[in-house]
Structure formats: C-alpha cells, structure tokens
Amino acid sequence: MDGLTTDWQYDTSQDTSVSLLLVSAGSGTLYLKNAKTGERMTIPYTYIGLGESKGSDLGVSQSTTAMQSSGGSVITYSGDFYSGQFPCKGFLLTAGAVADILGAEQGAASQAYCEYLFGFPVFAGVTCQGQYNSTLPGVGISCATVSYGYATDAAPTAPVDPNTSVADAGSDGSDSASA
C-alpha cells in the first residue's frame, strides 16, 4: 500500500536518551507544522529500544531544538492525519554516529537519521535527520517501541510582560483563560 503525502511537515525535535549495552530508553518531543495552514502540532513521546546505541555502550545522548535538523512530510496510510489520532503507540527507528560530547558546539560530525512511525498498526510516519551530542563517541542503529502522548498546538505564545499581573490579563472583560 502506498502512502499519501500530507500537508504536515517535520519542523524540529528534541530528545534525550540513556543507553546501556543493547538497551536504550528516552523521551522527547516532535514538532510538526502544516505547510498550508501554518497550524502546529507538538507530540511528546517516551520509548524503550533495542540495538546498538548512537553513542557508546553506556551513555547519554541529547538533541535540542536549537541543533540543525530537517525532515520530510508526514506520510499517512489511513488517508488522514490529525491530532485526535494521539495518544497512540508506535515505533522509532534510529541510525546515528556521534563524534562529539554533550556540551560541544553543534557537532556537525554527529548525525542521526530517525523515522517516527505512529500507531500499531502504523497509520502514518515522518522521517528526519539532525545533529546531536553524546557522552562518548559511537555508531549504532536501534528500533524502539514508543508511547506518543496527546498532540497539542505548538503555536508560540506571546512574550510575558513582567510589568503585567495576572489580574490585568483580560481586563477588557474578555476571559483570556479560556483560550
């Protein structure tokens, strides 16, 4: 069955994982953006996996939204993709090589390729690649079972003015808390 390309695209992600020999566990957040509407979707996740870790046999790896990353469009097999399909179970396939350590300057030599698969059976997926850091150098591939959380709107919030109190919010009679 061929997948259908959606308007949803990979925007960025962040992830922290701990590995010991062939077992890794971690959590992160996937950020998607709808290319047509500008709508955003934030999907938190946790996972446990098997395979050679991206870093050393014992270590921690980390990526942040500030690190270089790119990805493709969400491909769906069910004909639709929307936030109401979350939470769900799924998979995370990862291959990576790390030459930098945590705290290093945006290590271009440390790259990972990831494929996020949503659902069991899989109803959609998205691929990405990007930089990350690890405690020790290493190379590896892994497959993880994932619990994806509730998808939420990731639209940026307005900066908070420190001179405005909570009581001032909605002083025009509007109920700003019901947004």
Is 125 strand, coil or helix?
A: strand
Per-residue pLDDT of the chain (179 residues; tens, 9 = 90+): 467 999 999 999 999 988 888 898 999 999 999 999 999 999 999 999 998 655 567 778 888 888 889 999 999 987 789 999 999 999 999 988 877 555 555 444 678 899 999 999 999 999 999 888 777 777 788 899 999 999 998 643 333 344 444 344 443 433 333 33
Residue appearing with tokens 């808390």: 177
The dihedral sign for the CA sequence 76, 95, 28, 40? negative
- CA 91, CA 143: separation in Å to the nearest integer? 7
